[in-house]
Structure 1
Amino acid sequence: MEWDNGTGQALGLPPTTCVYSENFKQLLLPPVYSAVLAAGLPLNICVITQICTSRRALTRTAVYTLNLALADLLYACSLPLLIYNYAQGDHWPFGDFACRLVRFLFYANLHGSILFLTCISFQRYLGICHPLAPWHKRGGRRAAWLVCVAVWLAVTTQCLPTAIFAATGIQRNRTVCYDLSPPALATHYMPYGMALTVIGFLLPFAALLACYCLLARRLCRQDGPAEPVAQERRGKAARMAVVVAAAFAISFLPFHITKTAYLAVRSTPGVPCTVLEAFAAAYKGTRPFASANSVLDPILFYFTQKKFRRRPHELLQKLTAKWQRQGR
């Protein structure tokens, strides 16, 4: 049994004295984070390498995907610290700055991924529903890079308070790294946490749903062009819609639902300890789903970009042919 490092205090009341077990974190999080690190690090490096070496094919969607992979790569680099922390039973020996940085990188990756996926979806909507609009043609890659700069600024502004609220503390004679905030700041964190969910998830999610509803309506119409190129673009857009919707459903939706519920419950006076423990376990149990986003994003890239999907196969064929010639 251990103190919950996310439990807060109710308004006007002393901190909660609830004590409950979080042994599941030691069993669940290290192997999941290790798998995300082992898969996400090489996959995102491959995505970045392929996009950077294919400048002629650097479309606006590729620019957004490149920034998405950079966000995932930064998060993957922070995972070794979390793996060690949870493998040692929630013991954080790396100092206060590293604690704040790791928590910031998690939420920056989370909300950066949401915004970049929304940009990709909006770009796909414009390409299918307004392909000839002059305001769509204007700007090109330069406009995409400006959008990416704006996204990074927005993400940094949104998530910087997570680095302020996150901190280390002492519990049961060991140092811990608080995920949301120390218990004494729980009620102060509540408005920020809710605002982050609304601005950083609900609004982009609503925009993405609107894009895909309009896109689905256009794809279902039978009066569009029937040329093979047009049909291929429609099929590509449909695949993109399905995969991005799946990424949101798997990675982002469960995490934000359980986090919002947990924030509300832990800030409510008089909640029984068993109820608080259940909501805390549900929230912390969905963190791996949010982390899996770092693996799903590069899979999304290869699934929807045929020209990049061909390149590893072509490279493998060239290497095989070279080895065969040398062996003769």
Structure 2
Amino acid sequence: PSLALTSGKALCPLVESYKYILLPLTYSSVFVLGLLLNGAMLRLSCRRASWTCTTIYLVNLAVADLLYLFSLPLLVVNYLLRDTWPFGELLCKLVRFLFYANLYGGILLLTCISIHRFLGICYPIRSLPYRTRRLAAAGTATSWALVFPQLLPTFIYARTGVIDNRTVCYDMTSPENLGSYFPYGVALTASGFLFPFLVILACYCLIIRSLTRHAGDANPAGSAARAKSIRTILLVCGLFAVCLLPFHITRSVYLFVRVYRVADCQLLQRWSLLYKIWRPLVSLNSCINPLLYFLSATPSVACQDYCAKV
């Protein structure tokens, strides 16, 4: 077992041998699969004669995924060396920053796509002036402009340290800074995940209501398209919740235990295990994003035609 510093003085023995097998396998698989899928998505998008509004969001999402994916080999080496970080503090900070930039930048881009779909399906004619390539580019720029200031503390908090005569790259921050990191982590969860998730759910609920109103349409093609749209929306919401919600719950509780329940080593072991299992699984979003929004997307034809001209 390894020793986890839970406060300035207390040490809890944690059994973490599982992560030296689980994490290299998970990160290696995500790296290869994500590289292939996002690379293919970028290649196909760049070969299009003109980009639609949705393509602009998708390309930004793929770039965010690729930037994160290129950091995964460093983590694979780290865990193969049994939590020994040989790459220096700057790369430690960069790896942690890229994880959260991909996570929360991707969530905001998915929110933009959801709003775009909501307008295209629920208000197809009235929303045409608001579904242009220029506004889509402004939406992506705004998303990144919101994400980077939010994540600057992450770059500052991330650091290396020495445990048992080996250099480690702390997952969130060093133990002595956890008290100040906790409120920042809670605020980041609320602003970066909870609020966008509620917006996405609201958009998709309204889209489903709009689609089901026309469920009795005699047109077979229209009925099939609506059924596919509903299945895609349900899949998006389901994967969003399965991948991201457990991660944010386990991360928040784990932080709480590390800060306020420092003496309960059994509780710390339980939530450390849950958090460190879900943390690599959230990386699967880098593989799911191109599948959901490139292969299964059903963008409005009207939007494609209009955006191509603007």
TM-score (ref. length: structure 2): 0.91
User: Measured at CA, do residues 60 and 226 of structure 1 come closer, stay the same or move farther in structure 2, by a change above 3 Å?
Assistant: farther
Q: CA deviation at 1:188?
A: 0.6
Q: Provide Cα deviations, 1:270-325, integer angstroms capped at 9, x if missing partner.
A: 54111111111111110121111111111113432479xxxxxxxxxxxxxxxxxx
Identity percentage of aligned residues? 45
1:62 matched to 2:55: yes
1:43 matched to 2:8: no
1:161 matched to 2:153: yes
Q: Map 1:97-246 to 2 at 5 A.
A: 97-133=90-126, 135-138=127-130, 140-222=132-214, 227=219, 230-231=222-223, 233-246=225-238
Q: CA deviation at 1:231?
A: 4.2
Q: Which runs of 5+ in 1 are unaligned?
A: 308-328
Q: Provide Cα deviations, 1:145-198, integer angstroms capped at 9, x if missing partner.
A: 010011111111122211111100000000000011100000010010000000
2:84 to 87, 91, 94: 91
User: Measured at CA, do residues 224 and 128 of structure 1 come closer, stay the same or move farther in structure 2, by a change above 3 Å?
Assistant: farther
- What is aligned with 2:68? 75
Q: Provide Cα deviations, 1:125-153, integer angstroms capped at 9, x if missing partner.
A: 111101011x4434611100010011111
- What is aligned with 1:22? 16
Q: CA deviation at 1:225?
A: 6.5
Q: Counterparts of 2:273 and 2:298 in 1: how far apart (Å)?
A: 40
Q: Counterparts of 2:45 and 2:217 in 1: how far apart (Å)?
A: 30
User: Measured at CA, do residues 206 and 306 of structure 1 come closer, stay the same or move farther in structure 2, by a change above 3 Å?
Assistant: closer
Q: CA deviation at 1:228?
A: 6.0
TM-score (ref. length: structure 1): 0.86
User: Measured at CA, do residues 37 and 161 of structure 1 come closer, stay the same or move farther in structure 2, by a change above 3 Å?
Assistant: same
User: Measured at CA, do residues 233 and 158 of structure 1 come closer, stay the same or move farther in structure 2, by a change above 3 Å?
Assistant: farther
The number of residue pairs the alignment matches comes to 299
Which aligned segments of 4 or more residues in structure 1 are displaced greater than 2 angstroms?
Answer: 135-139, 222-237
Question: What SS class does the counterpart of residue 70 from structure 2 fall into?
Answer: helix
User: Measured at CA, do residues 223 and 150 of structure 1 come closer, stay the same or move farther in structure 2, by a change above 3 Å?
Assistant: same
Instruction: Report if aligned partners of 2:6, 2:262 keep a CA contact under 8 Å in 1.
Output: no
Moved more, 150-159 or 188-197: 150-159
Q: CA deviation at 1:8?
A: 4.1
Q: Which runs of 5+ in 2 are unaligned?
A: 300-310
Instruction: Report if aligned partners of 2:71, 2:98 keep a CA contact under 8 Å in 1.
Output: yes
Question: What SS class does the counterpart of residue 71 from structure 2 fall into?
Answer: helix
